[in-house]
């Protein structure tokens, strides 16, 4: 098997590579545009939407879509015992994802209906494969992800409908897409974070004071998080959106406090899960408060986009890449540094919104930290995605 054939042999390989590359490239373009604007210049992009809308759309649906595809194409066969997708399908769905990115980028020179068709084809093509596998052994806790993928697609549709001139739903669609990703973190992170931590504690010989994950509390956090995208879909008043987000955030913070995060401090591949989940919950709380008139919504949205989505996807992508290629689940120094840079980027961007006088430098610094984090991730795991599986059992279980 050639290296190229191997890259398309498993979904996590090409999509986690693509997510990392796009995280660097898309943020690099945004940084360049911001830097030119800050210097008093002007930089025209070939995209039809305003640069800030292109940036938001591509980080949510471009980067987020690639991370989701890599996760689903890897995790669903494990859940169901089904055979993984063939390499031709993986190459096809990756090509559709890439076509969407190119179409949105060149949307100033391409009919917008063609842009929408190219970009919106990705989630249904991916969802059909997932449905075909999940339907064999349907379980409610797994079918939730298919419903969330549908919500993710609807959110993207709302953006394109405004770009086509039919509705005024782009901002609601962007928010719905982001909080849908955050809902997936609430569901998935709430499952794997205490589970992986418990496994590691037991393997170390610890038998007491293990992570607790009370089901009533989990149900409240997940129900509120799943309701949040729907509040944007049906355009509920700000105070209702705020109340739902506050419930999800508070419940999430209580949950993560029960998972023995302090024990993981010497284990980056574990503490990054705890930290990313906590930032997700905190971001939802901040979003809720902002909708209730306390704080800045843009600041909260960037805590979620950078710290929660960026942090948790980086954690899961690196862990899964190691585990599914037979490598020990131990983060290298480079990847551990990347784990630390992402929440630092989130904090810096938060300050940029909270302190308007520092907006330009903090936004540029936050973008640079994000790029550095994903560059470290790419450098460290590049050989993993292109290389063969090693005959060595990983410590613990990959997602």
Strand spans (E) along the chain: none
Q: What is the pTM of this model?
A: 0.94
The band of 392, judged by pLDDT with boundaries at 50, 70 and 90, is low
Which residue, among 158, 157, 96, has the nearest Cα to 122 in the 3D structure? 96
Domain spanning 3-386: CATH 3.30.70.1380? no
Q: What is the pLDDT of residues 330-361, one digit of tens each?
A: 999 999 999 999 999 999 999 998 888 888 99
Which residue, among 259, 310, 253, 307, has the nearest Cα to 285 in the 3D structure? 253
83: tokens are 């055979």
Q: Are 199 and 260 in contact (CB under 8 A)?
A: no
Q: What is the pLDDT of residues 192-234, one digit of tens each?
A: 999 999 999 999 999 889 999 999 999 999 999 999 999 999 9
Across the chain, mean pLDDT equals 94
Q: Are 96 and 125 in contact (CB under 8 A)?
A: yes
Q: What is the pLDDT of residues 243-274, one digit of tens each?
A: 999 999 999 999 999 999 999 999 999 999 99
C-beta pairs of 72-76 under 8 Å, 24+ apart in sequence: 72/11, 72/126, 72/130, 72/145, 72/149, 73/10, 73/11, 73/12, 73/15, 73/126, 73/129, 74/10, 74/11, 74/12, 74/320, 74/324, 74/399, 75/320, 75/399, 76/130, 76/133, 76/134, 76/142
């Amino acid at each position: 098997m050639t290296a190229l054939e191997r890259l398309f042999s498993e979904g996590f390989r090409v999509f986690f590579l693509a997510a990392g590359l796009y995280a660097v490239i898309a943020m690099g373009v945004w940084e360049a545009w911001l830097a030119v604007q800050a210097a008093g210049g002007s930089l025209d992009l070939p995209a039809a939407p305003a640069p800030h809308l292109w940036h938001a759309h591509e980080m949510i649906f471009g980067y987020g879509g690639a991370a989701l595809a890599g996760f689903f194409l890897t995790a669903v066969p494990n859940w169901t015992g089904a055979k993984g997708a063939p390499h031709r399908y993986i190459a096809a769905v990756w090509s559709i994802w890439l076509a969407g990115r190119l179409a949105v980028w060149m949307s100033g020179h391409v009919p917008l209906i063609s842009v929408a068709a190219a970009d919106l084809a990705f989630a249904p093509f991916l969802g059909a494969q997932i449905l075909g596998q999940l339907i064999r052994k349907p379980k409610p806790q797994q079918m939730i992800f298919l419903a969330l993928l549908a919500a993710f697609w609807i959110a993207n549709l709302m953006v394109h409908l405004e770009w086509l001139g039919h509705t005024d739903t782009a901002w609601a669609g962007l928010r719905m897409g982001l909080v849908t990703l955050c809902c997936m973190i609430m569901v998935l992170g709430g499952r794997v974070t205490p589970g992986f931590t418990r496994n590691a504690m037991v393997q170390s010989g610890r038998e007491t004071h293990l992570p607790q994950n009370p089901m009533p509390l989990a149900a409240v956090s997940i129900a509120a998080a799943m309701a949040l995208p729907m509040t944007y879909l049906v355009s509920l008043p700000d105070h209702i959106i705020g109340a739902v987000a506050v419930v999800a955030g508070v419940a999430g913070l209580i949950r993560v406090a029960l998972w023995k995060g302090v024990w993981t401090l010497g284990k980056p591949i574990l503490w990054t899960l705890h930290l990313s989940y906590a930032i997700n919950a905190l971001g939802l709380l901040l979003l809720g408060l902002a909708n209730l008139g306390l704080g800045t919504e843009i600041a909260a949205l960037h805590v979620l986009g950078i710290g929660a989505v960026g942090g948790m996807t980086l954690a899961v992508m690196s862990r899964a890449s190691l585990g599914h290629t037979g490598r020990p689940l131990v983060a290298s120094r480079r990847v551990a540094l990347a784990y630390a840079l992402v929440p630092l980027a989130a904090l810096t961007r938060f300050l940029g919104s909270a302190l308007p006088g520092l907006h330009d430098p903090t936004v540029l610094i936050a973008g640079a930290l994000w790029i550095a984090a994903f560059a470290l991730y790419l450098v460290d795991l590049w050989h993993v995605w292109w290389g063969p599986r090693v005959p060595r059992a990983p410590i613990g279980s990959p997602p």
